[in-house]
Amino acid sequence: MKCPRCKEDDVHVVDSRTSASGSVTRRRRECKKCCQRFTNYERIEESTLRVVKKNGERVRFELERVVKGMLVACEKLPVAFEEIEKAAARVESRCQNEYDREVESTVIGALVMDELRQLNQVAYVRFASVYREFKDVTQFLEELEELGGESA
């Protein structure tokens, strides 16, 4: 591994930690030349899962995109980044376990909405309003009424 600052090959591991699920290893490294510390993550590369988008296009599943979408929905809300990462990992795990090679984007969106519903109801409504492409306030209010009925 090369140092991101000076590009030197001579780096050593300062600390290693495995995630609770055991699927990711976080390593703190330090460059022996410039003393820069940096973090890298190691994970097992699963078989390549493809996402079938609404227009029929097939793209590689990217966990980072799921995290990014959830981060946008949770912006300025009291949701820890670690909780978002865990929720996104659960979405990825379900997709890997339940689908062989391809998964519809609508399935991923529904799984993300389920996770957001558990994390924060405001984040859930934000994501749902974009994901379900609400055309007017009536659809938005119907979603809020449904959500209110669940918590009552």
Domain extents in the chain: 11-43, 50-151
pLDDT tens by residue, 16-36: 998 777 778 999 999 999 999
Q: Quick check: 77 and 123 in contact, CB under 8 A?
A: yes
- Least confident among 7-16, 28-37, 141-150: 141-150
Q: In what order do the strands lie in the sheet with 58-60?
A: 58-60, 50-52, 102-104
Q: What is the mean pLDDT of the chain?
A: 88
- 149 pLDDT tier (thresholds 50, 70, 90): low
Burial class (CB in 10 A: 0-12, 13-18, 19+), 55: exposed
Please state whether the predicted TM-score (pTM) of the whole model is above 0.75: no
In this predicted structure, the answer to whether residue 141 has a pLDDT above a threshold of 70 is: yes
Nearest to 130 by CA among 84, 75, 63: 75
- CA-based diameter of the chain, in Å? 61
Q: pLDDT at residue 108 above 80?
A: yes
Please tell me the distance from the alpha carbon of residue 118 to that of residue 151, in angstroms, as a whole number: 11
Give the model's confidence band at 94: pLDDT under 50 very low, under 70 low, under 90 confident, else very high. Answer: very high
pLDDT exceeds 70 at position 45:
no
Given a cut of 80, whether residue 41 has pLDDT beyond it is yes
Phi, psi at residue 40, to the nearest 5°? Answer: -135, 155
Comparing C-alpha atoms, which of 41, 50, 38 is closest to residue 4? 38
Which pLDDT value is given to residue 151?
52
At 130 the pLDDT is: 80
Residue 142 has a pLDDT of 74
- Work out the average pLDDT over 31-44: 91
